[in-house]
Structure 1
Amino acid sequence: MMKVCEQSEAEAALVQQWGWLLAGRQLLLETLPQELQVALKELGATGQQIQLVPGAFAQGSRWYCQRCGSRLRTDQRLPSGQLYCTACLALGRVCQNSQLVRFPSANHFSVQTPVLTWTGKLTPQQEKLTQSLLAGYQQGASVQLLWAVTGAGKTEITFKLITDYLARGLRVGFVSPRVDVCNEIYPRLQQAFARTAMGLHHGQAKPVPQAEQLVVATIHQLVRYYQAFDLLIVDEVDAFPYVGDPMLERVMRQAVQPTGQRLYLSATPPAAMRRAARRGQLPLHYLARRFHGRPLVQPRVVFGQVFQQDQWTGRLRRLLAPWLGRQRRILIFVPQAASLPRYLAALQRAFPSVQAQTVHAQDPLRLEKVADFRGGSGQVLLTTTILERGVTLPHVDVLVLAADHPNFNVASLVQIAGRVGRAPTNQGDQVVFYCQYESWAISQACHQIKQLNRRGGF
């Protein structure tokens, strides 16, 4: 066993050597470089800065994952008999004999000025919200909610807040449940904070290791952080899979410093947050007007069947023909990924010359297809609700087929409708809910959009 002074010196040397890469991280010991594993095992579990903790802990007869806090299932065992965590399995297996390494958070990042390199200008309403958010955190608020309609410029509203933290050498995380949202946000933040070290982390990203002061990630990636962030911005807090998942809520809270602060962003915040805001338990900042000053596009409800055998009905073809004739770019949302090939085949039979493709959550070319469509490739993209948020495209029309399907809830329909009318210039973008009957979700979504426009002064 090393003497105390030798142990402290060895630990300090490890922090100096590896801290730039592992600051604020919570990682499985077995995933670290071999030389670091050896040094950490020699150091033992008594470090003052680096923590070496068991992968699981017991409370009575129950076992819990140290990384994500989930209870281990007794019917899930390795051949050795060890229990393991199924809740965070996708990010590496934690079992009873695993060890987690928690590196200390970076105390202070070096700052290159100017921190904010964005040259845009906020509207008066956006500027007012920015100042309110700053004041809230300066007065000690631990968490706040920004509720703003789709296309209001939520990301830009956060820029000055992020600047305030980065300029003080503090660390900021910007997370979302959706990969597509992260891919949309990351390049915008890169431009806005060009002198700040940044990283993009999700299951399909391969970041270059660096001392990242600004981290963009999916919420699942937060299981790999421990008390890392001074400010954590959580975008699309109502989106699957975050909403209603207690594991993701735990890892989100665990990833923030004890004195850290959080900001929730949403155009359709969940009911629990709205109730907390009404009770005065959650400071709420609201913006009901898009940055360009025009109202949200009101959806049009069209009744009819989609298929007649395997052909699109005449009503649906007559609806799409004028859009395609004007060379409009179209997003078509369908309720289930399994039916996408049928929808695509029917579209190509009805309009043989149209360039179209499909994309869904498990599509191996998902990122490339979305990037291509964003870049102007193809006229029609058929998709599921994975693109209900996180994709900003100028001048597109949106068609929701089988909009009365249970997979389309109120929030998803409002978000889907928010894909249109986002550009500064108005070119008559349209959104249509195509259905056999007007479901409660359709009715409420249309009503909510109308109410939002009234709040915005329209």
Structure 2
Amino acid sequence: MVIIMIKDVSELYGRQVNATMVDESLLNNSIVHKYVPIKVNSNNIYCKRCGQKTPVNRCNLPNNNYYCPVCINLDRVNKSIPLVYADEPNDFEIKQPVLTWQGQLTNEQEKCSKDIIEVFQNNKTHLLWAVTGAGKTEMLFKGIEKALTEGKRVCIASPRVDVCVELYPRIKEAFGNTSMILLHGRNPQPYHYAQLTICTTHQLLRFYRAFDVLIIDEVDSFPFVNNEGLHFAVENATKKRSAKLFLTATPTNEMTKRIRTNKLSASYLPIRFHRHLLPEIKLKYTKKWRENLKKQKLPKLLLHKIDEKIKRNQRFLLFVPRIADLKPISDILAKQFDSSKWETVFSSDDKRMEKVSDMREQRKLFLITTTILERGVTFPGIDVIVFGAEDEVFSTSSLVQIAGRVGRKLDRPTGEVLFLAEENTLAIKSAINQIKYMNKKAKKLNG
């Protein structure tokens, strides 16, 4: 790995990096600060970058040195090498117009948009709870515009790389005159100082008191949800006076509890921007499918559905529970159908970006995928099939998000959501009921 030495102080604004990556001339600059990132206690070490503790016997190095194993995937921090940062000066050139998006919001979106502006203006913490396909991104635009116009530094973060990759060109188009950067582990582009950052939540660990406004998309999603280190990163990456906005279609029980007890304010939008209802789940039973898969057999219903969609040239996603299920299912389908029509894709797939792009550009008819594509990606006009929907990997929020991939665009606001399962689990029942509940609230708005 080639280490690029930092020679421009702007690359340290609100960003903490290993001192070995910083040119000697900058280390003596009066606005550059250093601190030792590892604190050693009697039984454990505390990492000031990720806020996590580790037993000393699990992280000791030679010469009485210690490192943090929790955030090592970003690069190793240890007791002997300080982290270096510079205070965020908000040194941005504001070019007009800030907002280059020409679209219109619905009345319901406009109300949420005004709430967001008020949250950003008054440095509040707030939740935007909106159904899948409600147009959450567009509702952010006016709030972001006002923040950027005032010279604030803004970040939009998501737990999922795919969400960031899809979001970046949309934000780039909406704020065409603003300096912007996309940060994630698979992006080879070098870092530069920018007013607007799109990044994965892991990348927040690299920032310190940087952002005036932080927006976390898909806040209930793995790996952010229940990850103490990433929640610490949110607090560490934002200024002491800053606004935090959380976005979700499927809030956790903890979030809804905080809303009920007035510990978290929220805006709620139960209807999609095109005012059509969410496609509802159809459940069909497939007995002993896993046993049959070992015998290289798939349910007739699944084969019939795939055959039907291929003949109609209907694009779709086929979700399966496990990475280990991808190849055997694909191999069985290849005996009956033209295998050039699909790809398999999973989280650590080296060609993941390329395959998702092929689906988006309609070079593939369907993808066989794990839950990695359950949220944050939009493929216009698709259906979804969940095979093995009873598996514990499919939580209620996961199933609702998967169903939410369908009917997102005005030119095809409906579509098929088919769950194939051995049994009707609590997660499946809850997902069906949640979508019906949202549709009931949407019908009231539609009058």
Task: Give the structure 2 partner of residue 362 of structure 1.
Answer: 348
Identical aligned pairs, as a percentage? 38
Q: Within 2, Cα distance between the matches of 1:53 and 1:89?
A: 18
Q: How many residues align?
A: 434
Query: For the Cα contact (< 8 Å) 2:383–2:417, is it kept in 1?
Result: yes
Task: Give the structure 1 partner of residue 3 of structure 2.
Answer: none
Task: Give the structure 2 partner of residue 4 of structure 1.
Answer: none
Secondary structure of residue in 2 paired with 1:392: coil
Q: Within 1, Cα distance between the matches of 2:17 and 2:340?
A: 48
Compute the displacement of 1:321 (Å): 2.2
Compute the displacement of 1:299 (Å): 0.9
Query: For the Cα contact (< 8 Å) 2:119–2:243, is it kept in 1?
Result: no
Task: Give the structure 1 partner of residue 384 of structure 2.
Answer: 398
1:159 partner amino acid: F
Q: Within 2, Cα distance between the matches of 1:195 and 1:414?
A: 36
Task: Give the structure 2 partner of residue 122 of structure 1.
Answer: 105
Query: For the Cα contact (< 8 Å) 1:28–1:100, is it kept in 2?
Result: yes
Query: For the Cα contact (< 8 Å) 1:354–1:380, is it kept in 2?
Result: no
Task: Give the structure 2 partner of residue 207 of structure 1.
Answer: 189
Of the three residues 147, 168, 183, the one matched with 2:129 is 147
Task: Give the structure 1 partner of residue 327 of structure 2.
Answer: 341
The answer to whether structure 1 residue 444 and structure 2 residue 430 are counterparts is yes
Compute the displacement of 1:456 (Å): 1.0
Q: Assess, with a 3 A threshold, how the Cα gap between structure 1 residues 267 and 296 changes in structure 2: closer, same or farther.
A: same
Task: Give the structure 2 partner of residue 174 of structure 1.
Answer: 156
Q: Within 1, Cα distance between the matches of 2:340 and 2:283?
A: 24
Secondary structure of residue in 1 paired with 2:418: strand
Task: Give the structure 1 partner of residue 8 of structure 2.
Answer: 18
Q: Assess, with a 3 A threshold, how the Cα gap between structure 1 residues 339 and 353 changes in structure 2: closer, same or farther.
A: closer
Query: For the Cα contact (< 8 Å) 2:60–2:66, is it kept in 1?
Result: yes
Compute the displacement of 1:122 (Å): 0.7
Q: Within 2, Cα distance between the matches of 1:210 and 1:311?
A: 52
Q: Within 1, Cα distance between the matches of 2:320 and 2:63?
A: 45
Query: For the Cα contact (< 8 Å) 2:39–2:79, is it kept in 1?
Result: yes
Q: Within 2, Cα distance between the matches of 1:81 and 1:364?
A: 38
5+ residue gaps, structure 2, are: 1-5
Task: Give the structure 1 partner of residue 24 of structure 2.
Answer: 37
Task: Give the structure 2 partner of residue 198 of structure 1.
Answer: 180
Q: Within 1, Cα distance between the matches of 2:202 and 2:340?
A: 38
CA-to-partner distance for each residue in 1:246-272, whole Å, 9 max, x for gaps? 010001111001111100000001111
CA-to-partner distance for each residue in 1:319-354, whole Å, 9 max, x for gaps? 322222111011000111122101111121232466
Q: Within 2, Cα distance between the matches of 1:207 and 1:153?
A: 29
CA-to-partner distance for each residue in 1:230-284, whole Å, 9 max, x for gaps? 0000000000000001010001111001111100000001111111111111110
CA-to-partner distance for each residue in 1:118-173, whole Å, 9 max, x for gaps? 011111110111112222443x3520100000000001000001001100111000
The answer to whether structure 1 residue 318 and structure 2 residue 304 are counterparts is yes
TM-score between the two structures when normalised by the length of structure 1: 0.91
Query: For the Cα contact (< 8 Å) 1:311–1:350, is it kept in 2?
Result: no
Query: For the Cα contact (< 8 Å) 1:108–1:170, is it kept in 2?
Result: no
Q: Assess, with a 3 A threshold, how the Cα gap between structure 1 residues 23 and 311 changes in structure 2: closer, same or farther.
A: same
Q: Within 2, Cα distance between the matches of 1:355 and 1:270?
A: 37
1:28 partner amino acid: N
What is the 5 A alignment of 1:36-435?
36-37=23-24, 39-40=26-27, 42=28, 47=30, 49-59=31-41, 62-74=44-56, 75-138=58-121, 140-305=122-287, 306=289, 307=292, 309-352=295-338, 355-426=341-412, 428-435=414-421
Task: Give the structure 2 partner of residue 6 of structure 1.
Answer: none
Secondary structure of residue in 1 paired with 2:362: coil
Secondary structure of residue in 2 paired with 1:407: coil
Q: Within 2, Cα distance between the matches of 1:192 and 1:239?
A: 25
Q: Assess, with a 3 A threshold, how the Cα gap between structure 1 residues 106 and 141 changes in structure 2: closer, same or farther.
A: closer
Q: Within 1, Cα distance between the matches of 2:418 and 2:362?
A: 22
1:18 partner amino acid: D
Runs ≥4 in structure 1, deviation > 3 angstroms? 58-62, 305-308
TM-score between the two structures when normalised by the length of structure 2: 0.93
Secondary structure of residue in 2 paired with 1:144: strand
